[in-house]
Amino acid sequence: METVSENRCYNGVQGVYRHASEACGCDMTFGLFLPEEATLGPVPVLWYLSGLTCTHENAMTKAGAQQWAAEQGIALVFPDTSPRGEGIADDPMYNLGTGAGFYVNATEEPWSKNYRMWDYIAEELPRVLTANFAIDAERQSICGHSMGGHGALTLAMAYPERYAAVSAFAPITHPSQSDWARKPIHAYLGEGKVDWTRHDACLSLRANGYAGPMLIDQGTGDQFIDALMPEALAAAMTEIRHPGFFRMQKGYDHSYFFISTFMEDHVAFHAEALYR
């Protein structure tokens, strides 16, 4: 594993690292913030999954999460959103290919060779982290934005014993009914072949439930709100009577100004679950 950079940050260290990924068949880069407590022993970890077009860097530099994670003694992981590099399949559309892995394991050509972001996030990167850093594998939580909110919700519901809590900013909630997400997921997995109960948070919640705490923030001024379909997730939470928090934030859009405004709430929400 290669250290790309390390910087002192809120008495901890914000690092960027690169490693050869077996899941994705290429080098992958991720950001990792370790609080000062990590010098004394393993600390809990909060995963932050980013949205379309993002790399590991967007949330790492714009979300303002390190300050709140340092106060709580929590590590933050900022994975990339897709495989990248020479020979990696891509597409001119921004919601398919580079920067748009949708946190699935692609089975269709030309994507199946490298686009295995589900396995990368759920299996490979956790092993890399615990093998190389002071991370407590028994205390994990997960958060995401937009496409990353979709990934956080579906992963949390698939591994309910692993993640202490899940939260999301403006998540893609119902991809089976939203062209924005349905078309790329069909490209990766094949039309008519998608297990939507695994890759649609609304359907997964109805079919399998979710025992952990959930926090959703959605801006009413979000330019993508029709494609995100927040009302579908609110309805699913209501139908199964899930004791979560769904907050419509007046006037906020889809940007990192929105995310940074409410990041303190989300980190505190996860800290409560991780230390409970």
What residues are labeled active site? Answer: 146, 222, 254
Rounded Cα distance between 153 and 24, Å, is 22
SS3 121: helix
CB 146 within 8 A of CB 81: no
Rounded Cα distance between 40 and 37, Å, is 5
- Residue recorded with tokens 């956080």: 152
CB 194 within 8 A of CB 176: yes
Rounded Cα distance between 66 and 71, Å, is 9
What is the CB neighbour count within 10 angstroms for residue 166? 30
Q: Which amino acid is at 146?
A: S
CB 255 within 8 A of CB 246: no
Rounded Cα distance between 182 and 151, Å, is 14
Q: How far is CA 28 from CA 17, 118, 135, 214, in A?
A: 8, 14, 19, 29
> CB neighbours of 66 closer than 8 A, spacing ≥ 6?
9, 10, 12, 14, 33, 76
